[in-house]
Structure 1
Amino acid sequence: MKSLFDQTEFAGLKLKNRFIRSATYDGVADEGGHVTEELFQIYENLAKGGVGTIITGLTAVTDREQLSPGQMGIYDDSFITEYKRLINVIHQHDTNIIVQLASLGSQNSPSETTGKVVWGPSAVEDSNYKVTPQEMTLEDISFLQTAFADAALRAQKAGFDGIQLHAAHGYLLSKFLTPYYNRRTDNYGGTIENRARMIFETYQAIREKVGPTYPILIKINSDDFMDDGMSFEECKYVCQKLTALGINAVEISGGSPSSRLNEGVVRGIKAPEQEEYFKRYAAEIGQEIHVPVIAVGGNREFTSITKLINELPIEYIALSRPLICESDLIKRWQDGDMKSAKCVSCNKCFRRGGTLCIFNRRKQSAPQ
């Protein structure tokens, strides 16, 4: 029987347990995307709290785009030294840390994109952010693929345990997969083979830079949950192709701010049957590919997620909001307190100025 506290390994990466902190927008880097003491403390607390592997918040691979407030960056070599300090502290707790590489595309506030490029596969307004990007030229595509590869090499030099490509949740790589937003008529549009070409080529550019053994993961939507979105069958094709190319693990998520009500990424949970809302997709992918599948989305209850890894072809469990609420949740479970995560999925933790659980904010503001 599998345990959530099994020591496992994939792609040469040793994991002390099956818990992964899923990439989470922390919102406390400085205006250039550099590490602040507040960001440093968030990650140190996660490592102290027992999670086996941390995936950072989405990290910018180029400064041609405007960073979202508080977003991390890795777009030039100045980041390498500061990330070395962060990584060394995380490793002292026998925890891995993987950097998530991303391009925002049109998912940014209109007031924050002045003077910077806003890219998209096509010039189609983002239905949530109301930003219309400029359609990427072939030169733009080549530049961005190189930027991802260069960022991955910096991550490797800094000592990150791997990188994760963010191809989910409506960010730029995800937009290429979505027919509604990708209306190109060249080799990057139309069929899923063409719409996924951006991701395949970006992966290959990274692999050429970092070599055959460095862990590369991807986060991808199971379904866009919107009209004219990417379907689950298309997601399966992309995962199968990436596995053939050499991807090392796949995290199955879903949706974006463009999704139908409560079919997006951070769904409300008011009953046990609403938990683990991407597990059936992760399980089906797990049956079809031979690399580890990571299940994210509404993982709250220890007994339930233990059954998940034992009854379905899922190797790892990713959590975000529960660890915003309790950075030491994994240690609490390991110490024998098996009560469900305290997180109530109110989604009030995601705010400008830094991601923080509303219950923890109340603690901070309480009279001393």
Structure 2
Amino acid sequence: MRNLFDDTTIKGMHLANRLVRSATWEGMCEADGRPTAKLAAYYETLAKGGVGLIISGYAFVRNDGRQLPGQLGVHVDDFVPDLRALADAVHREGGKLCVQLVHCGGQTTSKMAGCQPVAPSAVKVEQFPELPAELDAQGIEDIINSFATAASRVRASGCDAVQLHAAHGYLVNQFLSPLTNRRTDRFGGNLDGRCRFLMDVYRAVRNAVGNDYPVMIKMNGCDNLEGGLSLDDAVLACKRLDEEGVDAIEVSGGTPASGEQTPVRQGIETREKEAYNLPLAYRIKNAVTCPVMVVGGLRSFELVEGIVRREEADYVAFARPLIREPRLPLRWAQGNEAHARCISCNGCFKPGLKEGGIYCVIEKIEQENKGASL
């Protein structure tokens, strides 16, 4: 029977357990995306806390694909030594580090991208202020090549894997969605056309890093938007990736425009509100042979242990609980199976914008109050 703390491997990458730190923006890099000692120390703390695999914050593959300040960049060779410092920090504590590659597409601003945002089609993305420019054929090829060269840098740095971000309304997801892809050329139309960019990116990255290096992907099981990517189409896309040899699929859902069904939901106060992407992940797991990870509102030990034991997913991933409790995996492994302390308020992201790095504001307040009472 499968256990949460099994030793496993993904394409030769040994993992000490089935707990994954899902990618989240940390806001800890230089203005140009260069990794910092602060980010290395943060990852070292996560690894020390016992999580089996750390997936980095979304790393832009070229300048016009960035979205937020302090976002990690993998777009220039000059950053390879700094990426190596991240890997070394994680490896010192026995962990593994996967770098997530992204182009944010229409979900950015000209201020952050340095130019008009680009997308499959000139369709304004809800909650983002600017109409993006439609990519031409050469622009598409250039971005595909940017993913490949970024993946090469990650491998050269000693990091353990790459993950392609094809979820949450970013560029790859925009190509997959009929809502944002109105193209009439070979990159649009039916599912074959809308999957072409995804598959071309995957193949280019695979060719760049080789067959012996883990290439994973984060997919929306559904956009949770009328007219967006459906579960049926997501399953078919995942089957194609599986047939091509992708090494693991992390299943999420929603975009910033999905109302209460965004990727980062608040108010997860009951067991019924947890694991909100599990039905999507389970459907995909039944359609593929590669390992499947599920992310989204996982807070209870009994729940995540049951997901693995019942083989509803192969790995369980979370981000916000580890912002408040970096040692949560170690705590669970040592027998303290109490509920994660995260209250899903999303307050952790505000310091990333204002103070140069995310942290749990609730935990800080509690620690300050505790200190004041001594």
For residues 365 and 197 of structure 1, the distance between their equivalents in structure 2, rounded to whole angstroms, comes to: 52
Give the partner amino acid of 1:73. Answer: G
For residues 346 and 273 of structure 2, the distance between their equivalents in structure 1, rounded to whole angstroms, comes to: 15
- Check whether the contact 1:110–1:130 (CA below 8 A) recurs between aligned residues: no
For residues 214 and 284 of structure 1, the distance between their equivalents in structure 2, rounded to whole angstroms, comes to: 26
1:355 is displaced (CA, Å) by 2.0
- Check whether the contact 2:36–2:82 (CA below 8 A) recurs between aligned residues: no
Q: What is aligned with 1:164?
A: 163
Deviations 1:210-231 (CA, angstroms, capped at 9, x unpaired): 1111100000101000111010
Q: What is aligned with 1:27?
A: 27
Q: What is aligned with 1:358?
A: 361
Q: Secondary structure of 1:72's partner?
A: coil
Q: What is aligned with 1:80?
A: 80
Q: What is aligned with 2:306?
A: 307
Q: What is aligned with 1:209?
A: 208
For residues 243 and 157 of structure 1, the distance between their equivalents in structure 2, rounded to whole angstroms, comes to: 25
- 1:182 corresponds to 2:185: no
1:364 is displaced (CA, Å) by 6.8
Q: What is aligned with 1:320?
A: 319
Q: What is aligned with 1:68?
A: 68
- Check whether the contact 1:110–1:129 (CA below 8 A) recurs between aligned residues: no
Q: Secondary structure of 2:56's partner?
A: strand
1:106 is displaced (CA, Å) by 1.8
Give the partner amino acid of 1:61. Answer: V
Change (3 A) 1:208 1:18: same
For residues 301 and 108 of structure 1, the distance between their equivalents in structure 2, rounded to whole angstroms, comes to: 34
Give the partner amino acid of 2:363. Answer: N
Change (3 A) 1:363 1:77: farther
For residues 64 and 249 of structure 2, the distance between their equivalents in structure 1, rounded to whole angstroms, comes to: 28
Q: What is aligned with 1:100?
A: 100
- Check whether the contact 1:65–1:117 (CA below 8 A) recurs between aligned residues: no
- Check whether the contact 1:254–1:278 (CA below 8 A) recurs between aligned residues: yes
Q: What is aligned with 1:18?
A: 18
Give the partner amino acid of 1:48. Answer: K
Q: Secondary structure of 1:32's partner?
A: coil
Deviates more, 1:352-361 or 1:261-270: 352-361
The share of aligned pairs that are identical, in percent, is 38
Q: What is aligned with 2:125?
A: 126
Change (3 A) 1:153 1:111: closer
Q: Secondary structure of 1:33's partner?
A: coil
Give ranges in structure 2 of 5+ residues lacking alignment.
none
- 1:39 corresponds to 2:39: yes
Q: What is aligned with 1:294?
A: 293
Q: What is aligned with 1:236?
A: 235
Q: What is aligned with 1:148?
A: 147
4+ residue runs of structure 1 moved beyond 4 angstroms?
363-368
- Check whether the contact 2:65–2:102 (CA below 8 A) recurs between aligned residues: no
1:117 is displaced (CA, Å) by 4.2
1:293 is displaced (CA, Å) by 0.2
Give ranges in structure 1 of 5+ residues lacking alignment.
none
1:346 is displaced (CA, Å) by 1.1
In terms of fraction of residues, the more helix-rich structure is: 2
Change (3 A) 1:66 1:263: closer
- Check whether the contact 1:65–1:116 (CA below 8 A) recurs between aligned residues: no
For residues 274 and 62 of structure 1, the distance between their equivalents in structure 2, rounded to whole angstroms, comes to: 37
Q: What is aligned with 1:333?
A: 332
Which of 261, 265, 288 is the matching residue for 1:263? 261
Deviations 1:123-181 (CA, angstroms, capped at 9, x unpaired): 11111112211000000000000000000001010011110000000111111111111
Q: What is aligned with 1:52?
A: 52
State the number of aligned residues: 366
For residues 116 and 211 of structure 2, the distance between their equivalents in structure 1, rounded to whole angstroms, comes to: 33
Give the partner amino acid of 2:265. Answer: R
Deviates more, 1:127-136 or 1:33-42: 33-42
1:65 is displaced (CA, Å) by 4.0
Q: Secondary structure of 1:40's partner?
A: helix
Cα RMSD over matched residues? 1.5
For residues 318 and 64 of structure 2, the distance between their equivalents in structure 1, rounded to whole angstroms, comes to: 31
- Check whether the contact 1:33–1:67 (CA below 8 A) recurs between aligned residues: no
For residues 66 and 340 of structure 1, the distance between their equivalents in structure 2, rounded to whole angstroms, comes to: 35
Change (3 A) 1:80 1:116: same
Structure 2-normalised TM-score?
0.95
For residues 285 and 199 of structure 1, the distance between their equivalents in structure 2, rounded to whole angstroms, comes to: 17
Deviations 1:278-304 (CA, angstroms, capped at 9, x unpaired): 111111111111000001111111111
For residues 142 and 112 of structure 1, the distance between their equivalents in structure 2, rounded to whole angstroms, comes to: 22
Structure 1-normalised TM-score?
0.96
